[in-house]
Amino acid sequence: MSTHHRFRPAFTIIELLVVLGIVMIVLSILLPALGSARRQAKATTTLGNIRQCGQAVTSYCDDNRGLFPTLFEPRLVFRDLELMRVKTPRGTLRGGWFSNAGTWQFALPNPLPAEVVSDMLRPRESLVAPTDHREETQSDFALSFAFYARPDYWHWRTQRGPEQWRTMRLDSIRHPSNKGMMLQMRVYDVPGWPDGFMACCATDYPTGILWSDLAAERVSPPSLRPGAPNPWHHGVAGGLPPWAKGSPVLETEYGVEGRDR
C-alpha cells in the first residue's frame, strides 16, 4: 500500500519579496494621484461653499438697502481691552470695525439652507473649507474690507482714517467681475497642514476667491493687484508706512471702485 504525498504550491521568500516590491511600486504611483484627486475634490467643494456664502450675503444686501452685514460700529479703539463686544447666539464676539469682514455670518438671520446647518457647537458646513479638523465658529471666507470704507480711504494719498469708515452698498461696486467679494483665509488641502494653511495674503498657494459677480475660482494671491495700506486694520491706528502694500481683494486699491485683477 503506497502513500501519496500532495505538495501544496507556495511562494518562496524570493517570490514573496518580488510581489511586495511590485505592490509598493504600484502604491507609489497611485498614492500621489489619489492625493491629488482628494485635494481637487476639496477645492471643488470649497468653491461651492464660498459661492453659497456669497449668495447669502447678496440676499442680505438686497433686504437691507444694499448694505453689507455689520455687527460692530465704525469706532476706533486703541487697545485690545477696548474692543467692542457683541452678543450672538454662539457667544460674545469681540472686535473692531474691520472685524465685520470676518463675522458677517453672525449678522445674517438665516444665511444658509437648513440641510447644511450643523449643531450649534460647530459652524455651518458651507461657511468653511472642507476639513476634519474644525472647532472654530467663524467662517474661513472673509468679506473684503473694501466694503467697510469709502473708496477714497483705499489710497494712501487720500486716506485720512476712521472718518471715512462706512458700510458700502452692493450696487456701488464698479467692476463686479474683477472686484473680489470674498477671500478664503485658510486652505485645508495643503499637505502637512491639516489645521489650515494661511493662504490669504503673501503666499503663492492658490486660494478660493469669490468675485462680486458670484463667479468663484482658485487664484494665487500674488498674481492679483496689490491692495492699499490700511493702518487701522485691527482698529488701532499706526503700524504701516504710507508706501506699504495692502492685501489683494481684502484691501483693494480704490475700494469698491477698484479692481483686483
Q: What was the pLDDT predicted at 232?
A: 79
91-101 average pLDDT score: 87
Over pLDDT 70: what percentage of the chain?
72
* Contact criterion met (CB below 8 Å) for 144 and 98: no
Residue 133 has pLDDT above 50, yes or no: no
* Contact criterion met (CB below 8 Å) for 187 and 205: yes
Instruction: Give the pLDDT confidence of 41-65 residue by residue, as tens digits.
Output: 777 778 888 888 898 899 999 999 9
Q: What was the pLDDT predicted at 221?
A: 86
**Rounded Cα gap, residues 112 and 259, in angstroms:** 28
Show Cβ contacts of residue 244 under 8 Å, excluding neighbours closer than 6 positions.
229
201-219 average pLDDT score: 87
* Contact criterion met (CB below 8 Å) for 107 and 116: no
Q: What was the pLDDT predicted at 36?
A: 60
Average of per-residue pLDDT values in the chain: 78
Q: What was the pLDDT predicted at 107?
A: 85
Q: What was the pLDDT predicted at 199?
A: 75
Least trusted range by pLDDT, from 82-91, 125-134, 169-178: 125-134
Q: What was the pLDDT predicted at 76?
A: 84
Alpha-carbon 108 to chain mean position? 18
Q: What is the largest CA-CA distance in the chain?
A: 111
Residue 22 has pLDDT above 50, yes or no: yes
Q: For the whole model, what pTM was predicted?
A: 0.75
Q: What was the pLDDT predicted at 40?
A: 67
Residue 136 has pLDDT above 70, yes or no: no
Full DSSP string of 84-98: EEEEETTEEEEE-GG
Residue 120: pLDDT band (50, 70, 90) is very low
Q: What was the pLDDT predicted at 8?
A: 59
Cell numbers given for 19: 510581489
108-115 average pLDDT score: 56
Show Cβ contacts of residue 154 under 8 Å, excluding neighbours closer than 6 positions.
146, 227, 228, 230, 246, 251, 252, 253, 254, 255, 258
67-82 average pLDDT score: 84
Residue 176: pLDDT band (50, 70, 90) is very high
Residue 212 has pLDDT above 90, yes or no: yes
Residue 250 has pLDDT above 50, yes or no: yes
